[in-house]
């Protein structure tokens, strides 16, 4: 086999493998609402940042807990002296064999070249400073966990808005395409009647214009679907070039909670309220921590030291010493620094209490607004369902009567236009009802 044939055969085999191998084949991404939510929680930047904040808060708890344990440190040093002090004193008085006035020089080296030591410090009593710091770190972790819950709720709500926005856009495409199909059918029937002498040329022209007027609506609906899909991809963190579809439907749902129940649940479960509650408790801990700075503290300090003039791994050749002591620290005057810190901490607690009251009133207002929106959507959906049934029946009657010459072409087109509007209103009402429920769930802090 010559080279060109071999190359051609190789390319055919390679392309066949590429098409058959799922690693090379680009598949369409098809997602349900549940799958979309799971994907968003894995990729949403706000959720990922909140997860990192939790890890940071957990590390701060460990840092605060370390204050309860002893602190052990080691130190080693080597000292090199270029010159050692010398002392000269007379020695003839002590040794008669030496001539009168004889002296001797002695090096006064009281240091060791090598020194190794271990130091231990164990707090015994700090008047609650370590404890208050530790409990403050724990409360900060709880605040961070509530922020994480809030970020997840926000992400889920955004996914629902985008997901059902895609479903609504799909229904709008179907509605415009169905309207176009009805107009085409009406034009076909009108031409048949025109050929039979039962319709005028004006009726044909009117039907053709009506069909042409629907084309921009179809294009607009299709572009709207593309924009909705791009919005969902952005929410999910999916590349915009990825081909994607959604599986789901706009269907009527109900929500049975009363306004009083919604208000009660919101005040019990909203993460923002829990965050402020934990922050207030943190502020109270900070007040106690600031007050503790004016009180004494007691610690046990111990050290063990070895000295030698030569580096040796035989510990018995080293000069060793150790000590242990209790250290009592008693603040006397700090220029009123502690008093100012206590005042600052108390003011912070007062501000948090005011913010909590304002937040609760805002949440009540938000819940009431979401509840009214839900009731409004429920009323509208009931009306839209009835209008849709009537519009569908009107088109069926108009088409049948037009074939029999009992109504005009304008009557048929008016009925078809009313049906298109009824379908549009109905799907919009379904979409609004679903999002109203999601909005109320978000308002009470129990989003599903």
pLDDT, tens digit only, all 448 positions of the chain:
555 555 555 555 544 544 444 333 447 889 999 999 999 999 888 899 999 999 999 999 999 999 999 999 999 888 776 555 666 667 666 667 767 766 776 665 556 678 889 999 999 998 889 999 999 999 999 999 999 999 999 999 999 999 999 999 999 999 999 999 988 988 998 999 889 888 888 989 998 998 999 999 999 999 999 999 999 999 998 888 889 999 999 988 888 889 999 999 999 999 999 999 999 999 999 999 888 888 899 999 999 998 887 777 887 788 889 999 999 998 888 888 889 989 999 999 999 999 999 999 999 999 999 999 999 999 999 899 899 999 999 999 998 898 888 888 888 889 989 999 999 999 999 999 999 999 999 999 987 6
214 contacts 179 by C-beta, under 8 angstroms: yes
Burial 395-424 (b: 16+ CB within 10 A, else e): beebbeebeeeebebebbbebbbbbbebbb
Compute the distance between CA of residue 230 and CA of residue 55 in angstroms, rounded to an integer. Answer: 32
Q: Which residues lie closer than 8 Å to 350 by C-beta, 6 or more apart?
A: none
**Nearest residue to 40 via CA among 285, 260, 237, 272:** 237
Q: Which residues lie closer than 8 Å to 214 by C-beta, 6 or more apart?
A: 176, 179, 180, 183
297 contacts 125 by C-beta, under 8 angstroms: yes
Does this model's pTM top 0.75? My answer is: yes
The domain locations on the chain are: 30-69+126-295+335-444, 72-84+110-125+298-330
**DSSP conformational letter for 72:** E
Q: What topology is assigned to 30-69+126-295+335-444 in CATH? A: Outer membrane efflux proteins (OEP) (1.20.1600)
Annotate 298-350 with DSSP letters as a single string.
EEEEEEEEEEESS--S-GGGSEEEEEEEEEEE-----TTHHHHHHHHHHHHHH
């Amino acid at each position: 086999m010559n080279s060109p044939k071999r190359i051609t055969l190789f390319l055919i085999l390679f392309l066949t493998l590429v098409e058959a191998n799922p690693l090379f084949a680009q598949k369409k991404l098809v997602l349900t609402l549940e799958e979309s939510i799971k994907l968003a929680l894995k990729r949403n930047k706000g959720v990922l940042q909140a997860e990192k904040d939790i890890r940071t808060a957990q590390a701060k708890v460990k840092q605060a807990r370390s204050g309860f344990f002893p602190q052990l440190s080691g130190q080693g040093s080597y000292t090199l002296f270029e010159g050692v002090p010398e002392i000269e004193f007379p020695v003839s008085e002590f040794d008669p064999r030496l001539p009168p006035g004889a002296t001797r020089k002695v090096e006064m080296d009281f240091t060791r070249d090598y020194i190794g030591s271990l130091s231990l410090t164990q707090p015994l009593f700090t008047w609650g400073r370590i404890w208050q710091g530790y409990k403050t770190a724990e409360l900060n972790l709880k605040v961070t966990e509530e922020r994480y819950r809030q970020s997840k709720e926000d992400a889920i709500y955004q996914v629902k808005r985008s997901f059902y926005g895609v479903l609504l856009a799909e229904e709008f495409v179907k509605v415009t395409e169905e309207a176009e199909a009805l107009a085409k059918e009406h034009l076909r029937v009108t031409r048949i009647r025109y050929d039979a002498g039962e319709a005028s040329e004006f009726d044909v022209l009117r039907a053709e214009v009506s069909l042409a007027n629907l084309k921009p609506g179809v294009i607009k609906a299709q572009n709207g679907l593309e924009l909705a899909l791009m919005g969902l991809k952005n929410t999910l963190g999916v590349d915009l070039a990825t081909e994607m579809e959604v599986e789901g439907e706009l269907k009527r749902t109900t929500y049975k909670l009363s306004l009083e129940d919604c208000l009660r649940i919101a005040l019990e479960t909203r993460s923002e309220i829990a965050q402020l509650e934990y922050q207030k408790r943190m502020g109270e801990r900070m007040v106690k921590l600031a007050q503790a700075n004016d009180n004494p503290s007691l610690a046990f300090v111990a050290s063990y030291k070895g000295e030698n003039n030569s580096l040796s791994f035989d510990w018995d050749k080293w000069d060793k010493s150790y000590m242990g002591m209790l250290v009592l620290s008693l603040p006397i005057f700090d220029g009123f620094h502690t008093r100012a810190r206590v005042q600052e901490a108390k003011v912070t607690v007062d501000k948090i209490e005011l913010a909590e009251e304002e937040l609760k009133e805002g949440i009540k207002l938000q819940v009431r607004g979401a509840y009214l929106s839900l009731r409004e959507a429920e009323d509208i959906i009931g009306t839209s369902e009835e209008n849709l049934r009537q519009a569908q029946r009107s088109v069926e009657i108009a088409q049948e009567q037009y074939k029999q010459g009992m109504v005009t072409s304008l009557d048929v087109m008016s009925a078809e236009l009313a049906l298109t509007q009824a379908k549009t209103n109905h799907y919009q009402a379904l979409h609004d009802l679903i999002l109203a429920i999601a909005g109320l769930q978000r308002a009470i802090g129990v989003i599903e």
